[in-house]
Amino acid sequence: MSAQEQIKETVDANDVVLFMKGTKSMPQCGFSSRVAGVLNFMGVEYTDVNVLADEAIRQGIKDYSDWPTIPQLYVKGEFVGGCDIITEMTLSGELDQLFEQKGVTFDKGAADKIREHNA
């Protein structure tokens, strides 16, 4: 199976997927840590894919999304964005709206706390 096929299968089989450097319990870069931290704090169930473990996946995800950086968040098969976009969406409430629209369970109170803390 090619890297593109593996990526597509992972994105299609899971409601929320974060392609990141490291894992959700041990991120290995600040940007990945920030996005994983938001998802973890909000109680979102997601699949993490450590791009450092496989060079073909690391490059393949950039080609798959036509997005040059890691991390990359997918929700219900749709590419949402990287660290800056996820941060902005969290602070504006757009990430809450996306999760609600897509039927992804999350802790609204935790999302509100993130916004309160960053106000």
Residue 11 is encoded by which pair of tokens? Answer: 């994105």
83 annotated ligand binder: no
Q: Where are the alpha helices (DSSP H) in 14-106?
A: 30-41, 55-65, 83-92, 94-102
Q: Choose among 99, 82, 89, 98: nearest CA to 30.
A: 82
User: Could you tell me if 111 and 95 are in contact, meaning their C-beta atoms sit under 8 angstroms apart?
Assistant: yes
Binding site feature residues: 29
Binding site feature residues for [2Fe-2S] cluster: 29
